[in-house]
């Protein structure tokens, strides 16, 4: 779980950062789009972590019988 989340966070930030760099080079906008891409990557990563935290929170609040798949 932790490796998957870390990979996803790194990929989101990396894609935003390098995508912004590429767009900056293409449109000659200095570092503006790099910063925007980085911030979008960070925001996306935050959303992914928030969703995972909520998912784990829901799992831990379920009764023991439902966690193990033994629904009665």
Domain count along the chain: 1
State the pTM of this model: 0.81
Specify whether the CB–CB gap between 41 and 12 falls below 8 A.
yes
pLDDT 10s digits, 24-47? 999 999 999 999 999 999 999 999
Range of the domain at 26: 9-49
In a domain, 40, yes or no: yes
In a domain, 30, yes or no: yes
In a domain, 41, yes or no: yes
pLDDT for the residue 66:
63
Integer Cα distance of 66 and 72 in angstroms = 8
Integer Cα distance of 40 and 47 in angstroms = 11
Would you say residue 10 has pLDDT above 80? yes
In a domain, 1, yes or no: no
Would you say residue 8 has pLDDT above 90? yes
pLDDT for the residue 71:
58
In a domain, 61, yes or no: no
pLDDT for the residue 63:
76
């Amino acid at each position: 779980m932790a490796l998957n989340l870390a990979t996803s966070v790194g990929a989101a930030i990396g894609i935003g950062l390098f995508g912004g760099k590429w767009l900056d080079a293409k449109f000659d906008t200095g570092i503006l789009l790099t910063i925007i891409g980085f911030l979008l990557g960070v925001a996306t990563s935050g959303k992914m972590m928030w969703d995972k935290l909520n998912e784990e929170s829901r799992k831990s609040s379920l009764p023991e019988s439902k966690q193990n798949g033994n629904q009665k």
